[in-house]
Amino acid sequence: MSKHVTIRLVFQLLLISLLSCQGDDENQRLLGHWHVFPISPKPAFEAYSTIDVLNDSVAVFDRGVLDKDEGFWGTIDPAESQMRFGGECLILDFHFEVIEDTTLLLSHMQYDSSDTWSFKAVRCSEACCSPEQDYFKHSKVLVSLPREKQSVGAYAYDQFPHSLLRIAYVGRLNQPLAEVYGRTDNALLLGDKISPISDLKEWKSKHLIKLPEQARDRTHTAILCDTSTKVSTIQPILEELQRLGEQRVWFGINSSIDSFSIQWLPVVLSEELDSTIIQYLK
């Protein structure tokens, strides 16, 4: 082999190695947990979505906190600056641009022009959020669940099929909704609506109507409420549920001291408020 051929071969190998390292560096810049915020239009309340980039080709949009298999699993192509998660009408397919390793600018591949960024994703380290915060990231009310490492009679989070469980939320209004509604007390959230207690009947009916008739008697009502919730707030909710025929509801607690895990405590509905729930309320 001539000297010139050897030099050329060495140069080619160095070039391939350099390009490979650059590709690896680009992939490493994307790995991790990202919080996604709308740029335009601005949301009515403070909420975010998440993107978890697992490796150089797989990412998950809104990955489940308690069930890691949940979410929109998709592909990522750093070379083409594309993330594809699908969704209805491919709404979760994005172009992206990396800004200083800590920020991604995202635009819809199907709807936005190439120079219009609709979302900003910010890299989130372990200290910037908690699993509980991510679990309630789309909620109009702020919820920090009561903590109880070991509770007698509690049921696992996946005890009931999700389709048979309707969950009401009670907590402080997310900003700036508190200003919009002009209230600082804890509110009842049914579905995506800040609701009066009188809406519980319609909320329950809407859930039942979506199910096969033979499954309707196997449904359950659960409540996830903030630790700041007062007895005087929760009691009329339980009284209305009892009036609607509920004999028992499930009260969510965080059963992990240093992380996040939900267990369900059964609360029997009667004329007197179940002592099971009183210990967790103000």
- The predicted-structure confidence for 167-195, as pLDDT tens digits, reads as follows 999 999 987 788 888 888 899 999 999 99
Residues sharing a CB contact under 8 Å with residue 165, sequence separation 6 or more, in sequence order: 219, 220, 222, 250
pLDDT tens readout for residues 149-164: 666 778 999 998 989 9
Q: Do the beta carbons of residue 57 and residue 46 sit within 8 Å?
A: no
- What's the mean per-residue pLDDT of the chain? 85
Q: Among the listed ranges 34-38, 158-162, 217-221, which one has the minimum average pLDDT value?
A: 158-162
Residue 225's pLDDT band (cuts 50, 70, 90):
very high
Task: Kindly state whether residue 14 falls inside one of the protein's structural domains.
Answer: no
Task: Kindly state whether residue 157 falls inside one of the protein's structural domains.
Answer: yes
Residue 280: count of CB within 10 angstroms of its CB: 20
Q: Does residue 277 have a pLDDT over 90?
A: no
Of 278, 265, 268, 191, the C-alpha closest to 229 is 278
Cα distance between residue 203 and residue 135, in whole Å: 22
Last residue of a domain, one of 99, 116, 135: 135
Provide the whole-model pTM: 0.83
- Count of domains for the chain: 2
Q: Do the beta carbons of residue 164 and residue 177 sit within 8 Å?
A: no
Residues sharing a CB contact under 8 Å with residue 238, sequence separation 6 or more, in sequence order: 249, 267, 269, 273
| 171 and 106 inside one domain | no
Cα distance between residue 43 and residue 20, in whole Å: 40
Mean pLDDT of 25-47: 81
Show the CA angle centred on residue 131, arms to residues 127 and 134, nearest 5°: 100
The CATH number of the domain holding residue 67 is: 2.40.128
Q: Does residue 198 have a pLDDT over 90?
A: yes
Range of the domain at 79: 30-135
What's at 217, amino acid-wise?
A: D
Task: Kindly state whether residue 6 falls inside one of the protein's structural domains.
Answer: no
Q: Does residue 14 have a pLDDT over 50?
A: no
